[in-house]
Amino acid sequence: MDHLVQHRAIKMLTQNLRPCIVVLETGITKPKARALYRELHGVAPRSGQMRDADSIVRTRREFMAASCIMSFYCELAPNYESGVDPEAVMAAHRIYLEDNPPASHCITLNETWVLARALRSAEARLVTCPKCTARYLEVARQHYAPACSHC
Instruction: Output the DSSP codes for 36-83.
Output: HHHHHHSSPPP-SPPPPHHHH--SHHHHHHHHHHHHHHHHH-TTTTT-
Residue 14 belongs to what H/E stretch?
Answer: helix 3-14
- What b/e readout covers 60-77, taking b as 16+ CB neighbours within 10 angstroms? eebbbbbbbbbbbbbebb
**Which of 132, 143, 144, 147 is the binder for Zn ion (CB under 5 A)?**
132
CB of 132 to Zn ion, least distance (A): 3
Nearer to Zn ion, 40 or 132 (CB): 132
CB of 18 to Zn ion, least distance (A): 33
148 binds Zn ion (CB under 5 A): yes
Report which DSSP code applies to 142. -
CA distance 7 to 114: 22
CB of 4 to Zn ion, least distance (A): 42
Site size for Zn ion (CB under 5 A): 6
Q: Which of residues 46-65 bind Zn ion (CB under 5 A)?
A: none
CB of 2 to Zn ion, least distance (A): 45
Q: Which of residues 91-130 bind Zn ion (CB under 5 A)?
A: 129
Residue ranges binding Zn ion (CB under 5 A): 129, 131-132, 148, 150-151
